[in-house]
Amino acid sequence: MTLTVLILAAGEGKRMRSDLPKVMHLLCGKPLLHHVMETVRDLKVRRTIVIVGHGKDRVRAALPKGVLVVDQRDPRGTGHALMRAARAFPDLKGTVLVMSGDVPLFTTETVLGLLLLHRMKRADMTLATAELDDPGRYGRILRDAKGGVAAIREASDASEEELAVTEVNAGLYAFRWERIAPLLRGLKAANRQKEYYLTDLIAPAVRRGYRVLPFLLKNPAEMMGANTRQDLALLHRILYSQKADSLMEEGVTLLQPSHAYIAPDVEVGRDTIIHPGVVIENSRIGSGCVLYPGNVIRGSSVGDGTVLYPHNMIEDSAIGRGCRVGPSAHLRPGTCLEDDVRVGNFVEIKKATLGRGTKAAHLTYLGDASIGSGVNIGCGTITCNYDGVMKSRTVIGDGAFIGSDCQLIAPVTVGRNAYTASGSTITEDVPAGALAIGRARQRNILGWVKKKKG
């Protein structure tokens, strides 16, 4: 049976009080919408369709290649979104899985469970439900005398008796599209919000004798959405806590789990020690590493046995085994540190490779550079890579020694085992094994201070 995923992402999210579309707010470093899409990434999906509206251009720009888009235009509810999809894709058929782009906690296992029930029971509509002690704003599941699903009543339209119901709509649906699509034509905006509700499809489906099945969630927390900043903060706490527990079970030491901000997609090897206040997103950390407080690591890999001293910023970089980084280093995108490299305090590196055993101990900028193995980069060294028009590269051979406070004016090459004297400005290539001195000759003027001050 064909499977189409339909993700509702047109909402403005007024309670977020933001210019950003609600589904684009970040959760553990990724938009809410991306979390939802990753849930169904490994399913055999014929096509994924995202319904956009508020901030549509921004949402569209963030979508992966191959995802289809429907502009809801003047969004008027979830039922209205399905109407737009039906009009845009008249060839829709088979199973249509409907999800909300601001509900990021549904697991792939939960979605597969709902789809399995839907297909095995040959249902026309299967909807996820949950039992809550405090149902709050969620739509209530109304049952008939035989215990079957009869309707869903939105909380804003429910009676006092209906509000007492504790089984709620979890906002995850599977439809047999050929049976459900015709019901869209009968939807009415007869409610306080003057919107077309997807949930109003249930009652007419039941009246026609369609098979409508509930799928009770084992973990009701999965249905939590992000309607307010408080909701978003809670979602962060849930995901960080789940990841911390998972890592500790796998042999990672977290010295203060409640202050470990590690995204769900991060991999960490056993016997790594993570101190409080570390942020890791979309990265892989090896085994036996030590990450001291204040490190922020995004889109990077860190090899086994590496130590990250406090307060480093590491972005889209690759760090080898046994390296020592920081404190307060900044590895910008395109940085590659081979094994046993030492990068010290207040060193900034961008689009540069440092070979095995190379050291840049402190107060240095290395941009657009290829640096060999066993190189010593003295304090205060700068690769002057930008002339105001274009970027150029600096090449430093194996075993070279760059004295303190040197400026390497790119494009320039320092040969293997060459030396540059401290305080030099290097504008020409340095041959292998040579010493380069690029200083003005010092001149002392005796008695100058006394004459100047009179």
Residues labelled catalytic: 362
Rounded to 5 degrees, φ, ψ at 85 are: -65, -40
Cα(52)–Cα(4) distance, integer angstroms: 17
Q: Which long-range contacts (CB under 8 A, 24 or more apart) does 395-400 make?
A: 395/369, 395/370, 395/371, 396/369, 396/370, 396/371, 396/372, 397/372, 397/432, 398/355, 398/372, 398/373, 398/374, 399/372, 399/373, 399/374, 399/375, 400/372, 400/375, 400/376
CA–CA dist 115, 113 (Å, integer): 5
The C-alpha torsion from 25 through 39 and 108 to 297, rounded to 10°, is -70
Q: Distance (Å, rounded) from C-alpha 162 to C-alpha 154?
A: 10
- The closest alpha carbon to 218, from 98, 106, 104, belongs to 106
Rounded CA gap, 228 and 257, in Å?
25
Q: Which amino acid is present at 268?
A: V
- The helix or strand, by DSSP H or E, that contains position 233, with its residue range, turns out to be helix 229-249
What's the sign of the alpha-carbon dihedral 73, 79, 82, 84? negative
Token digits for 177? 């599209």
Alpha-carbon gap, residue 306 to 339, rounded angstroms: 9
Token pair of 411 as six digits: 């494009």
The position carrying tokens 């920081």 is 326
Q: Do 303 and 287 meet the contact criterion of CB atoms below 8 Å apart?
A: no
